Amino acid sequence: MPRLPGIHQREAIRVLQKIGFKIKRQSGHIVMCNGNIRLTIPRHNPINAITMGNIAKDAGLTPDQFKELL
């Protein structure tokens, strides 16, 4: 599986919003939901590549699909 680059949290949020996720709450982490799936985005900059890959997988995206949406 190709790894995703470490990206800024705002870019990750923008990509997830494109596929229908909305921000539900923000504190130390950002919680996004699309009605069925809940994702927790850390506020690290950049977000670790392995963590970002797991978030993309949980959102139902392959790393290549995620990269296309960047």
Contact by Cβ (8 Å): 8, 46: yes
Identity at 9, one-letter amino acid code: Q
| Per-residue model confidence (pLDDT) at position 1 | 45
Q: What is the pLDDT of residues 10-60, one digit of tens each?
A: 999 999 999 999 999 999 899 999 999 999 999 988 888 888 989 999 999
Residue 70 pLDDT greater than 90, yes or no: no
Q: Please, which pLDDT band fits residue 63 given cuts at 50, 70 and 90?
A: confident
Structural domains in the chain, CATH included, are: 9-69 (3.30.920.30)
- For residue 6, pLDDT beyond 90: no
**Is the sign of the CA dihedral 43, 64, 59, 14 positive or negative?**
positive
